Amino acid sequence: MDIRVQDAPFDLGAEANAFAAKQSGMGALVTFTGIVRDLNDGGLDAMKIEHYPGMTEKAIEKIAAEALSRWNLGDILVIHRYGRLQPDEVIMMVATSAPHRADAFQGAEFLMDFLKSRAPFWKKEVGGDSVDWVAARDEDEDALSRW
């Protein structure tokens, strides 16, 4: 697995291609990308993402190891940014490879569900005069129970 927590932007296409090039015998490759959304109709200036250095990497590794143990996956890539991001910037990506697509899809969904609520990141929306921490949603917590 390849886990990266960084403030620098990354090239989604280049990362997906590099991940694909490392695989062999994998018939399926799934990627998911999270992007900064402006929910306030032009009112969002930036999203600030804070994390817990040290724990973040460990938490993601644990989630990825769990995914590898549950599905027939070849490999996992997770890149998650922190710091100040503009609307439409890429926040994070996951990629999974597997012999068959069901494992690749489910593994990626599992990773996303747990990254949302079990990896120590916190988002703050900055827009105009308002600065608000993004509240965790009950649906995101509920999503964990299906696994």
Partner 1 sequence: MDVLYFAWVRERVGHPKDRVETGAATVRELVNELREKEERYAAAFADLDALRVAVDQELADFDAPLNGVREVAFFPPMTGG
Run of H or E including 85? strand 83-85
What span, in angstroms and rounded, lies between the C-alpha atoms of 46 and 89?
10
- Judged by CB under 8 A, which of 135, 139, 145, 146 binds partner 1? 135
26 binds partner 1 (CB under 8 A): no
The nearest distance, CB 58 to partner 1, in angstroms, is 6
For residue 85, state whether it binds partner 1 (rule: CB under 8 A): no
Residue 57 contacts by C-beta under 8 Å, 6 or more apart in sequence? 3, 5
Phi first, then psi, for residue 54 (nearest 5°) are 95, -60
Q: Does 123 bind partner 1 (CB under 8 A)?
A: yes
Helices (H), 7-122: 12-22, 55-70, 101-118
136 in contact with partner 1 (CB under 8 A): yes
Cβ distance to partner 1 smaller for residue 29 or 115: 115
Interacting residue ranges for partner 1, rule: CB under 8 A: 34, 50, 52, 54-55, 58-59, 80, 91-92, 112, 115-124, 133-136, 141
